[in-house]
Amino acid sequence: MSTQTKRRAPFRESRKPFADLGRPGKEVRVFPLPTAALLLGGAALAGCRVAAAAGAPPHPGAQVTPTHELVALHDRVRMGGLEDRRFTQEAYWSVVGPVVEGHPAFRVEEVGRSAEGRPLRTVTFGRGPVPVLLWSQMHGDESTATMALADLYAAVAREGGHPALRTIQEALTVHTLPMLNPDGAQRFQRRNAQGIDINRDARMLATPEGRTLKDLRDRIRPLFGFNLHDQAVGTRVGRTDRGVAIALLSPPFDETRAVNEVRHRAMEVMGVMIQALEPLVGGHVARYDDSFNPRAFGDLITRWGTSVILVESGGWPDDPQKQYLRKANFVALVAALEAIAKESYKGVGTALYEGLPPNGRRVADLLVRGATLVVPGLPPWRADLLVNYEDPLLAAGGVISDVGDLADVEALDTLNLEGLFLRPLPAALDLRGGGVQLRVGGPAHFTVSRRQDGLEPLWTFLGGPPAELRRRQ
């Protein structure tokens, strides 16, 4: 197919400004994000499953509580007050503190301070001989597992006699450090207050948060370490069009990516997690990139002898606050801890983990197709516009990342503005050089109008589609 045909084929003679522009025969969407209403593409994909490795019958040896029972447990205990995934440490602790502090099942300890002096606390439960460490949100804008840990505390506090939780507490000592990067969480940003990516600080240890994690690892010497993150929501499963809900990884300990006993243990436990996740997000589980990174905590902690399990929460349809993935995290973590407690992961094998498709390409957030751009001093021109959000789940903080012929670019959302005029607002304009030009890399602020002069605008975009468009059916 020629470029020209490709470019023209999707433009229909439709007068409807927001008709779907999925390429013929291709379902372009997996996640109906808040802007889903704009685009009527392949939302149906969400329910599809792959019957490959992830669909294999549970290994009889795993002997963990069935997923539906863990879901029911989660429904009963889920911690209220964390419905918005942006929360500060103070807000988190105002919810979690009353549950764990003074409760006989928990020991709360301040193990360090962040760069800005916020307390880094561990919450520990269980009195068994096997130490396990879970840490979350070392990237301040990755809070899904932090919410799931709150639910885990609530489960232990309120239903500690549940067979799975009783077994876990008898066999394991579970150390958790929720929100390792409270300064980043304060601003909902990836890096800490020093501007350092804590997960690239395992070698230099320039951050107080990284040093705290290292000290904790050295003191506890956990058999298993759960490194809990969120990843880009636009990531696809392998070469498919399915979005990744959960990505897992046993980080390598050197360039050869050899599998030793330490990694083998992690892979077997992940086999249990994959089975537990199957009824919830089957077909949407992938393997994270396994290149060795000598600065990353997961890789070095593996080298230091702890079986690290990296969990990355991605995206899920109609789940902008990641509450469904919070539940999936809870289920996977309880199943993993139960399997470790019972040692029932032994013999599960590595095939389930190794059979996971890799994290595939990452698609852009929003493709605006077919509008005519109007910038003062330039003749109007017809072009596509690519927008990437600072917060893709909320379709907010959009930045213009490209302009031109973008017919072949994949995006989570596509917006057809054919026949309409797009006028950048001042923030989206670059006034250097004695003229006015569109500022690629600038905020996606513009009006949409039927008129070339931009009067009587239909909509105004301020970093994302206006609310009324998101609600459109």
Shortest approach of Zn ion to residue 139 CB, angstroms?
4
**Residue with smaller CB distance to Zn ion, 35 or 231:** 231
Q: What tokens were used for 306?
A: 């702890």
Shortest distance (Å) from residue 142 CB to Zn ion: 5
Nearer of residues 229 and 284 to Zn ion, judged by Cβ: 229
Q: How far is the CB of 38 from Zn ion (least distance, A)?
A: 29
State the minimum distance, in angstroms, from the CB of residue 230 to Zn ion.
6
Residue 263 CB, shortest distance to Zn ion, in Å, is: 20
Smallest distance from the beta carbon of 199 to Zn ion, in angstroms? 6
Choose between 139 and 439: whose C-beta lies nearer to Zn ion.
139
Residue ranges that bind Zn ion, judged by CB under 5 A: 139, 142, 229
User: Rounded to the nearest whole angstrom, what is the least distance from the CB of residue 391 to Zn ion in the complex?
Assistant: 15
Least gap, CB of 251 to Zn ion (angstroms): 13
For the bound state, the minimum distance from the C-beta of residue 148 to Zn ion, rounded and expressed in Å, comes to 15
**Measured from the CB atom, is 42 or 184 closer to Zn ion?**
184
Work out how close the CB of 266 gets to Zn ion at its nearest, in angstroms, rounded to a whole number: 18
Between 175 and 229, whose beta carbon lies closer to Zn ion?
229
Task: Give the residue with the Cβ less far from Zn ion, 142 or 201.
Answer: 142
Q: Kindly give, in sequence order, each residue whose CB lies less than 8 Å from that of residue 132, ignoring residues fewer than 6 positions away.
A: 172, 173, 174, 175, 222, 223, 224, 225, 226, 337, 340
Closer by beta carbon to Zn ion, 20 or else 142: 142
> Which residue lies nearer to Zn ion by CB, 246 or 444?
246
Query: In the complex with Zn ion, which residue's Cβ is closer, 118 or 229?
Result: 229
Q: What is the 3-state secondary structure (H, E, C) of the chain?
A: CCHHHHHHCCCCCCCCCCCCCCCCCCCCCCCCCHHHHHCCCCHHHHHCCCCCHHHCCCCCCCCCCCHHHHHHHHHHHCCCCCCCCCCCHHHHHHHHHHHHCCCCCEEEEEEEECCCCCEEEEEEECCCCEEEEEEECCCCCCCHHHHHHHHHHHHHHHHCCCHHHHHHHHHEEEEEECCCCHHHHHHCCCCCCCCCCHHHCCCCCCCHHHHHHHHHHHHHCCCEEEEEEECCCCEEECCCCCECCEEEECCCCCCCCCCCHHHHHHHHHHHHHHHHHHHHHCCCEEECCCCCCCCCHHHHHHHCCCEEEEEEECCCCCCCCCHHHHHHHHHHHHHHHHHHHHCCCCCCCCHHHHCCCEEEEECEEEEEEEEEECCCCCCCEEEEEEEECCEHHHCECCEEEEEECCCCCCEEEEEECCCCEEEECHHHEECHHHCCEECCCCECEEEEECCCCCCCCCEEEECCCCHHHHCCC
Contact 191, 183 (CB under 8 A): no
Q: Is the dihedral of CA 172, 230, 107, 209 positive or negative?
A: positive
- List the one residue out of 169, 181, 295 whose CA is nearest residue 228: 181
Nearer to Zn ion, 85 or 439 (CB): 85
Which residue lies nearest Zn ion, judged by its C-beta? 229
Residue 136 or 414 having the CB closest to Zn ion: 136
